[in-house]
Chain A
Amino acid sequence: MEINELKTDQCVIVGITGRLDTTNYSMLEKKLMDLIDNQHDKILVECSGMDYISSSGLRILLMGLKKVTALKGKFVLCGLQENIHEIFEISGFTSIFEIHPSREEALKIF
């Protein structure tokens, strides 16, 4: 898995590429917690390059959402592939996360 970060005027975009599972979720955890600890409370997670997620990955996203929500910020996802969207649906995530089809559309809400 690869993680990249792009700071924009509106938010920080965290891009995930590849598989997010038990072997690497701690990389994403560290990235998100570092951002939140540094007062970044507007985070967009770009998932278009992510092709697998296990419950360990979902756990980190839920932790990120909870922390950012506590700061009254925004934690938004975009670009979920079909199989990933299905996992989000099954685990009840589509009702708790703000999810947009593309980065462009997601950026409009910040």
Chain B
Amino acid sequence: MVRYIHYTDPNSEEMLQELDQIPRCPGICFFMDINRSTDIKYQGGLKDWGRKLNNTFNTLLYVNHFQQHVVKGIGDEVMLFIPDEDLQKKSSNNTCFALLEDIYAALFLIKNHPDQNLYLNCKVAIHYCTEVHNITFFENANDYYGSDVDLTARLMTKSVENRIVLSEKFYVKVINDLINMGLPLDTGCLARVSERYMENFRGVPMSTAFRVIEVM
């Protein structure tokens, strides 16, 4: 349940007490961005780019019932967050492996659709967050804040068209799912996963490990 933080006194002791008691809300954070979404707005009218955005978001979000997890959209980028407790309640897509496979498949469908005039290719970053809280500073909004959400946004800088960037923390969760299901570690799109890369992201005090999967 989201907690709305709003105190008019900047030095409020009550605020500090409330913040101190807010629990973490571990879960999976995704950023999905549509490529070329700026330049197509200069090339065609709303009828053209509006249709492409509609079609692309539908394939990304609605086919896999991800729309209920959209936290916010900023321009043509969306942030999704699935808390662990929500993931466990789902009847499908209820493992990190399943989520990754369906996101890969959605990008594959967009990239390989025979009518390329209807869609735009996408890029994605995924991270398993532990340093995150379900809070908002804006009334009636649901949001998630924490260093791991910011890190997911940083991972997005490593993604390009038709690429999924996954943090090592998320990758380990996926591998554990495969082990639990008794499946080979190169099942599905994991056959295409890269070696581990390290990066020092701006504002993050330690190196971050991540991998990438290029969509076929």
Chain A residues engaging chain B, CB cutoff 8 angstroms:
19, 21-23, 25-26, 52, 54-56, 58-59, 62, 66, 87, 90-92, 95-96
Contact = CB atoms under 8 A, between A and B. Distances in A.
Interface residues of B, number: 27
A55 B62 contact: no
Contacts of B114: 96
B139 interface: no
Chain B contact residues, majority secondary structure: helix
A54 B102 contact: yes
22 contacts: A21-B93, A22-B93, A22-B101, A22-B102, A22-B188, A23-B98, A25-B101, A26-B187, A52-B92, A55-B63, A55-B105, A55-B106, A55-B109, A56-B188, A58-B109, A59-B109, A62-B113, A87-B63, A90-B62, A91-B58, A91-B59, A92-B115
Interface of B: 55, 58-59, 62-64, 92-93, 97-98, 101-106, 108-109, 112-115, 118-119, 181, 187-188
Contacts, number: 68
Contacts of B63: 54-55, 58, 87, 90-91
B109 A91 contact: yes
A59 B59 contact: no
The 3 closest A-B pairs by CB, nearest first: A55-B105, A59-B105, A22-B98
Contacts of A26: 187-188
Given A54-B63, A59-B108, 11 more contacts: A19-B92, A21-B93, A22-B93, A22-B97, A23-B98, A54-B64, A55-B59, A55-B63, A56-B102, A90-B62, A90-B63
Contacts of A54: 63-64, 92-93, 102, 105
Contacts of B188: 22, 26, 56
B169 to A, nearest CB: 20
B92 A90 contact: no
Contacts of A59: 105, 108-109
Contacts of B102: 21-22, 54-56
A92 B92 contact: no
Given A19-B92, A96-B114, A90 B58 contact: yes
